[in-house]
Amino acid sequence: MVALLKSSFPTDETLKGVTLGKQKATNTVRQTLGFYYMKENIDILKSRKFSIIIDETTDNSTQSQMAVLATYFDELNFRISLIFVDLIRMPDGKADTIYNTVLQCFKDKSIPMGNIIGFCADTCNVMFGAHHSVAQLLVKNHPWIIPIKCSCHLIHLCASHACKILPKSIEDLCRNVYSHFRLSSQRCDAFKEFQDSFNLDHHQMLRAGQTRWLSMKMCVDRLLEQYEALKLYFRGVALEDPSHTNDAIVKSLNNVFTQAYLEFMSYNLSRLTSFNTLFQSEIPLLHELKSEVTKLISGLTGDFMNLSYVRQTDPLKIDVSLEGHHVPLDKVYTGIKATCTIQSVVGELGSDHPDVKLFRMHCKGFLVECVKQIQNRFANLNRLDFLKCLEPRVANNLSIPSLGLIFKQLPYLDSVVAAQAADTEWREQAMHPTLNETMSVYDYWKTLFQLKDGQGNVMFPNLRKIVSVLLSLPFSNAAVERVFSQLKLIKNDHRSCLKQNDYWDYSSRISA
């Protein structure tokens, strides 16, 4: 940076005397800016309500570490703010250890536990188990904290269980094709010739990760994109090297039902991926969770159940086991591409062919299992009904005439605002001419936050604080996953630096 400034402003006398090496820069960031930044963040967390997001990871030395993030709604800038609180080495992954570590983390920083209003983590038993978990310990000792499972993890698990209904050969194909090209530049170069013959981009095959959120969707799409080239390529490979794996790949690729299954998966996994992507957002979305879940269930059930039943029933209470409300097997919707593929197969084999029926049964089973998983994992959404007050339709029409029930459900609000003053402002905002029910949630409350009276004072100060608290509740742990992604980049940087025998350069950068 100093060299850049000196070259940009060669006549500046002040810059001529500036020196800043790696060690001084590192110590400035670590021992001065770092401490100031942490003190500033701790002061923020001491003065407001916030939620915590935690997750564990294991580094290359198999040492378990836990990242602790705090999230709150910044009413001045109208956005979610994240504070990286700590990265703590863990002796083990037990619920008691994690719970005590979290408590000690905030105790050491003199941040009161009373300021924590929400807790979010992944859905493993240690975090949210029914018998002894971190969430249970938090709620038992701090009953005002609202535990919320990560929506992204939940929908990933729903997809994983639903995919088990489909033939295992489909997943095996995805993994075997990836493994064939993995770490072999010779095979990749040979495949490029087949890609060129079909005018395809030189895209590599993707791996379906075991723990990555819905990575199967990208893997399936890549297979479909390169399908014809792969068929021709593996025919030659199987002739030259007739191994069991290569023969299995050729058999799967030549099976027309394989393509139909992949097209069916691509269509349905795109729904789940869209849901997942939405809740990886950095804007507050917990109030949208129930409507998005019910929308997803309605779409899935509409593909294999009578629409009259789906329309008349609460999506969370739809009973997919009622065969009387199912459409005939040949009417189950599998997506436009899979439908076209199967229609061509039916033209050759007939609609009564056992493989055609089996395909439709598998597709229906996938949809049924997916809906069951979603209903089961999102069964407690009604406890978040107090967030309806954030909807413009509800707020502008005073569908909730008083905030009394919200104060009863969230008793810590009494320490944030005066209840009657907040309730008065709740009723007054419905009369304000700049607010209307057609606005989005974001626009409605951003407009309200900016309103001022004739003297330049904030018009609804108490209501602003309540809305800020509600928007501070978490809905996924995507933020902490991003921290782990940054750590992965640092690890890769570590390897690169050590290969160059430049340890001191590495140590400076990692400290910074």
Q: Residues 448-452: contacts with CB within 8 Å, 24+ apart?
A: 449/75, 449/78
User: What size, in residues, is the chain?
Assistant: 512
Residue 491: which pLDDT band, with cuts at 50, 70 and 90?
A: low
Domain 2-149 has CATH 3.30.420: yes
pLDDT of residue 504 exceeding 50, the answer is no
Q: What is the pLDDT of residue 20?
A: 85
Tell if the pTM clears 0.95, that is, is over it. Answer: no
DSSP letter string over 442-454?
A: HHHHHHHHH-B-T
H or E segment and range at residue 470: helix 461-471
Residue with the bigger pLDDT between 390 and 62: it is: 390
Q: What is the pLDDT of residue 489?
A: 59
Q: What is the pLDDT of residue 498?
A: 42
Task: Return d(Cα 214, Cα 177) in angstroms, integer.
Answer: 18
Residue 62: which pLDDT band, with cuts at 50, 70 and 90?
A: low
Domain layout of the chain by residue ranges: 2-149, 169-377, 386-471
Q: What is the pLDDT of residue 212?
A: 65
- Count of beta carbons in the 10 Å neighbourhood of residue 78: 16
Strands 64-74, 146-149: pairing kind: unpaired
Task: Return d(Cα 140, Cα 318) in angstroms, integer.
Answer: 33
Asked whether the beta carbons of 69 and 150 are under 8 A apart, the reply is no
Mean pLDDT over 205-215 rounds to: 74
pLDDT of residue 211 exceeding 80, the answer is no
Q: What is the pLDDT of residue 27?
A: 85
Residue 38: which pLDDT band, with cuts at 50, 70 and 90?
A: confident
Task: Return d(Cα 283, Cα 279) in angstroms, integer.
Answer: 9
pLDDT of 317-368, one tens digit each?
Answer: 999 999 999 999 999 999 999 999 999 999 998 888 999 999 999 999 999 9
Residue 508: which pLDDT band, with cuts at 50, 70 and 90?
A: very low
